[in-house]
Amino acid sequence: AIDSNFDQNRERAGEENGVAVWGPVEPPEKLGIHGTHVAVDYDICLADGACLENCPVDVFTWVDTPDHPVSEQKVEPTNEDQCIDCMLCVDICPVEAIDVDAS
Residues contributing to the site for ligand SF4 (CB under 6 A): 38, 55-57, 59, 83-89, 100
Name the binder of 59 from ligand SF4, ligand F3S, none, CB < 5-8 A by kind: ligand SF4
Nearer of residues 13 and 46 to ligand F3S, judged by Cβ = 46
The answer to whether the CB of 6 falls within 8 A of the CB of 39 is yes
**CB closer to ligand SF4 out of 14 and 56:** 56
Q: Is the dihedral of CA 81, 69, 22, 87 positive or negative?
A: positive
Are the C-beta atoms of residues 95 and 46 closer than 8 Å to each other? Answer: yes
Closer to ligand SF4 by CB, 31 or 59: give it.
59
Do 66 and 39 form a contact (C-beta atoms < 8 A)?
A: no
